[in-house]
Amino acid sequence: MRPQKKLAIALLTLGIASAYPASAHAADKQTKRAAPTVAEAEQFLKNAEARLEKLSDTAQRAAWVYETNITDDTETISAQANELALTAAGEIALEARRYNGLPLSADNKRKLKLLQLSLAISDPKDRETYTRLAASMSGDYGKAKYCRKAGDPTSCLDLGQMEKIMAESRDPALLKEVWLGWHQQSVKYKDNYVKYVTVSNKGAREMGFADTGAMWRSQYDMPADAFAADTERLWQQVKPLYDSLHMYVRLKLRQQYGKDVVPKEGPIPAHLFGNMWSQSWENLYPIVKPQTQTASIDVADALKSKNIDAKGMTQFGEKFYTSLGMEKLPESFWQKSLFTKPRDREVVCHASAWDLNNLTDVRIKMCITPTAEDFMTIHHELGHIYYDLAYRKQPFLFKGGANDGFHEAIGDTVALSVTPEYLNKLGLLKEVPDASQDIGVLLDRALQKVAFLPFGYMVDQWRWKVYSGQAKPADYDKVWWELREKYQGVKRPAPMEANGFDAGAKYHVAADVAYSRYFIAHILQFQFHRALCREAGYVGPLNRCSIYENKKAGEKYQAMLSMGASRPWNEALKAVTGEDQMDATAILDYFAPLKVWMDAQNKEMSKE
Catalytic residues: 381, 508
β pairing state of 362-365 and 156-158: unpaired
- CA angle 160/166/171 to nearest 5° reads 140
Calpha distance 362→492 (Å, rounded) = 40
**What is residue 3's three-state secondary structure?**
coil
The secondary structure of 72-96, three-state, reads HHHHHHHHHHHHHHHHHHHHHHHHH
C-beta atoms surrounding 18 within 10 Å: 11
User: For the residues of 410-464, what is the DSSP string, one character each?
Assistant: HHHHHHTT--HHHHHHHTSSSSPPPGGGHHHHHHHHHHHHTTHHHHHHHHHHHHH
* Cβ neighbourhood burial of 260 (10 Å; 0-12, 13-18, 19+): exposed
CA dihedral 465→468→474→477, nearest 10 degrees, is 20
β pairing state of 362-365 and 145-147: unpaired
* Cβ neighbourhood burial of 33 (10 Å; 0-12, 13-18, 19+): exposed
Instruction: Say if residues 32 and 237 touch (Cβ distance below 8 Å).
Output: no
Q: How many residues does the chain have?
A: 608
Residue 269 backbone dihedrals phi, psi, to 5 degrees:
-55, 135
Calpha distance 465→517 (Å, rounded) = 17
- Sequence-distant (6+) residues with CB within 8 A of 429 are 297, 299, 302, 420, 423
E strands within 253-298?
Answer: 268-269
Instruction: Say if residues 517 and 404 touch (Cβ distance below 8 Å).
Output: yes
- Sequence-distant (6+) residues with CB within 8 A of 105 are none
338 DSSP β-pair partners: 365
- Residue 138's identity, in one-letter code, is S
Helices (H), ranges, 536-583: 551-561, 569-577
DSSP state of 504: G
